[in-house]
Chain A
């Protein structure tokens, strides 16, 4: 059953440009996939490691800026991608060393500060980053001679990267390392007592998470052929966190659903509602207050709750004891 659903979803994703047709919607699908990669990467930290980063747009942006600058300085796309990911990993290592000085709120505040530094550099270091005007690149890459310029081709390329990301993160989550990562989230003291090096586990998780943020950043650069400080701002980090939290932290499907929700809201709803930021903030507040565990687990809970609400009438007739509905709040 699960395999069938997975196969159907894959088939639907792979053939999407054929049945959607309209290039605008294909582009939105590409955006959803690239943000889903970003959210999945962030979720490794937020969901599995329990470390909430509000500075991940910094890593996303470092990859995009490094790639753009490499391309504009004459590097070919392969070199640019490798350079961008290497720069992201190096930055992620430096950020991790600083941010892992704290956990909980300390970690949040340090990541905010680091994210703001990256933003400040992107915005102010005009001689390199061109400031508010951003950096544009001329072309998308054409691997094996296939141009990624048309929307469907870019979509398929993004889909392949997306599938690699999902597989890698699923393998990580199921691996012993994933289990120990969840252990550092739930029982750090017990994990230390068992002989695990908590700091190292968190550090590696940060690197892994940063790597996928960098991949998403490169895809973003190729999608827009442009990067500006806007993509690095605190708002961008918050949006990514909203994707993770709205979908459901610590699940594989959650960040994907969250990314789809935010991107669709942003692109489709903002055509009708001018006040997109207000809606974004309101969704944020509503999700945290009413559905703290996210939409995927939250809907499951609501469904169970509704079923439990409906069931007593049946069971009263039979006289069996009814299980109390779970109250999540």
Chain B
């Protein structure tokens, strides 16, 4: 087990390092910060001076060396736009993103599990059709469109929820639903499929044969086994959830890492983009690591294998 964890940790570090390198190179493809940073009247001479001051006229390799030597110490440089260290700026926005993504994930799971179980146990019936219809809709609807529609309906027309921003629990409802909807749809289909498979297993038939009540068969025997793939998928989906959060945070002006990163990209704020990618990548890698370990704990066959 220790060797397994050590190997997974080593891979995780390599992935984060690789992502940092890619993000460093990609920022250079996205354009020069000079034109955005300087006032419109800046001349070629001023642009050259700016590039020299910030080291953007050095060869790419020199810049990468500088970036790497600082990054290993957790220093991604000062934000061009905010004039403050990048990493603390991003870290300050993590709680908002975590609040949103964790709420969205819990919401997706809480809705998807009963829907999937109902669909599996009523296979081919109206409930199954309804659950699959909801899932199809959830997977087809673009989340930014859903977000705008919810704002118009629940905030503007009915005045039930705030249009945007972060504050009390009411603020999190629409952004969380907008993010959760795709994941909920995916998980509903997954739970349905795995439940159908598990319900056909011998031990379920044995349970029923022993005269166990159907609720007991479902909750004690079938569901725990059907949920194992769910853990993996939820873990893998965390990256997608963060991706979705970037869009939804922007629509709802939710003050998280996603919104901040989008602004940094648009403003060519290289240090913030690099710090943000580093933190998000580390988050995704960590979650995946936890999922892998959890999977081993849930299914001893993997450990034995």
The answer to whether A and B come from one shared complex is: no
